[in-house]
Structure 1
Amino acid sequence: MISNVLTRIAVDEEAQGLVEYAFILSLVSVAAVLLVGNIGSIAASWFVSFNAELPG
């Protein structure tokens, strides 16, 4: 059953395109998560340094 499905996916060009789009989407998603994480840490360090410069 599963081997038949995998064989059809490997042979079917539309399914291959779908798999390629899913792979690209997953790579873009991972890149976005990493980018947002880095921006968050940069913003946090900026706020910490800004808070340290405030009097009082």
Structure 2
Amino acid sequence: MGFGSYDESEQKDDNTDFDDDDAVNVHESEHDGDVSFESEMSNEELVDQLSQMKGGDDD
């Protein structure tokens, strides 16, 4: 068998009868998206650090 080939016996019809109770509820763990973190660095220091990480000189 070459690249991209498949065994047709693996393509048989599987049981696809699913019960709604087995489904995943995507709204189960919703949140408002509030994020906070603690840092002793100022915004300017954080931007400078990001600039260094990117390898650029924005001075």
TM-score w.r.t. structure 1 length? 0.25
Q: From the two aligned structures, give the one with the greater helix fraction.
A: 1
Bigger Rg, which one: 2
TM-score w.r.t. structure 2 length? 0.24
